[in-house]
Chain A
């Protein structure tokens, strides 16, 4: 009876303990503080890189597009990536397709999550996930500063002024010259 009670009152949680070390990393050329600037209609391919340098086993990672699906897509046929132990350059290609009618300053948040696949071995399996996000921002059109008359552009104020005075004097002299000629003729 005592034995039965013990069985009923007891339960076991994960007596087998796994000491696996899970390791992986994602390197990205764009991040929160370093957005991707694009032009309307531009198509751009960017590459994030998966790494597994520190653990003790090969990893499988599932990539998923969390946000920005209206302009971004994962290019690889399979979005499950094998990341062997010791690898530091498994590429994940992402295509950014900016609409033709995108307005300057318009922005999208693109997020890609990478989640490790945990092999079921009993216990409370612990996996890792990294979510990389960045902004895609449409470039502002360059502002043109127009001036109606810019004859002496780029010169210092005094030099410009002297050039203008010289031009005026020449013009006055030309007029005087033609006027004199005409008077002499008459």
Chain B
């Protein structure tokens, strides 16, 4: 028997230990034994494919999409455009790339919450122009593309899809990029002031001469959902006599109603709390909830919402002078000596 010297024995043992530690992580992997078995037997759950192709045409390849000036801002009540470019290469030469077939679209979401897909696609609308070839080389073309989007298209990431055909009809597509549209909170309010008809002391439930109309001209949904606080909010300040400023009308004498499903006079009925808001804040004091001592109001308008959409992105507010106080003097009352009332969107 050959006796191994001590030095070699030590080296051999270290090697075995090292090998053991190297093998352990591989062997303990979940699919290791299955993999080994499958390789040896030829069985396997994963599909094995063998393809034999006779290449007669090089498919076009759409390279990286470059986006310019992202994120994009929506423009109040108008359309705006996104811009990007992409390079198409084709092994059969640039003449094989069909210019008119370069089309693109942007999309966002899926199912019921999906936004309307915006496109620059001559196959759908031949007046759009499609994407334009700006420069070319031996086997490539550089295309630029713009797509219009509307002011109520949702804020966030949109998926870009571009595609192109070669002269044989083979096509390539790139869906790897996204662009961002900023959030635009915008509103139109008219008229710029409210008026009430002449009233007498003790009169009740007097409607304002006109209603206040608010249009949502941005892409920010005011959904009216309780948990997100997405209501139209309102601040109202005490009306002050224009001649004698010591006489005032507190905001608690007014209510606002939304038009949603209500009869014309319902906005004076403060018991309809789902759609009518009395302009009074309550404070918690020692004896429980009581009226705010400030006679002003700041809060949400019950039942108000304005979704960002093509039609119906509107809320109409009706104002009611609930009760004319008996101690008023005959004069005009306005916000001239106090402060304007405000529609607030969070």
Contacts and interface: CB of A to CB of B under 8 A. Distances in A.
Contacts of A13: 195-199, 239, 321, 332-334
Query: Which 3 A-B residue pairs are closest in the complex by CB-CB distance?
Result: A25-B186, A20-B192, A125-B340
Contact of B193 (A126, A160, A182): A126
A87 to B, nearest CB: 10
Interface string A1-39: 000000111111111111111111111110101100000
B342 A14 contact: no
Interface string A55-94: 1000000000000000000000000000000001100000
A16 B180 CA distance: 46
A153 to B, nearest CB: 10
Given A25-B187, A124-B334, A161-B36, A54 B74 contact: no
A128 interface: yes
A14 B12 CA distance: 103
A22 to B, nearest CB: 5
B87 interface: no
A7 B192 contact: no
Contact of B156 (A12, A34, A167): A34
A94 B25 CA distance: 52
Contacts of B189: 21-23, 126-128
A152 to B, nearest CB: 7
A43 interface: no
A11 B8 contact: no
- How many chain B residues sit at the interface, stated as a range, is 35 or more
A26 B332 contact: no
Contact of A10 (B35, B183, B200): B200
- How many chain A residues sit at the interface, stated as a range, is 35 or more
B217 A23 contact: yes
A13 B193 CA distance: 12
Contacts of A15: 195, 198, 332
A156 B335 CA distance: 77
B11 interface: yes
B274 interface: no
Interface of B: 2, 4-5, 8, 11-12, 15, 18-19, 21-23, 25-27, 29, 31-32, 35-36, 39, 71, 73-78, 155-156, 180, 182-201, 209-210, 212, 215, 217-218, 220, 239, 242, 321, 324, 328-336, 340-346
Contacts of A129: 342-345
Contacts of A12: 198, 330-332
A122 B338 CA distance: 11
Contacts of A151: 22
Contact of A123 (B11, B22, B184, B334): B334
B239 A124 contact: yes
Interface of A: 7-29, 31, 33-34, 49, 51-55, 88-89, 115, 118, 120-133, 147, 149, 151-152, 156-158, 160-161, 164-165, 167-168, 171-172, 175, 178-179, 182-183
Nearest to B212: A126
A127 B76 contact: no
Given A24-B76, A27-B182, 17 more contacts: A20-B191, A21-B190, A22-B188, A24-B186, A27-B183, A28-B183, A34-B180, A55-B188, A88-B75, A124-B195, A124-B340, A125-B336, A127-B342, A149-B21, A158-B35, A168-B19, A168-B22
A130 B345 contact: yes
Nearest to B195: A14
A10 B344 contact: no
A124 B190 contact: no
Contacts of B75: 51, 53, 88
Contact of B340 (A28, A89, A118, A179): A118
B342 A115 contact: yes
A78 to B, nearest CB: 21
A182 B329 contact: no
A14 B218 CA distance: 31
B148 to A, nearest CB: 15
A131 B75 CA distance: 18
A19 B76 contact: no
A157 B12 contact: no
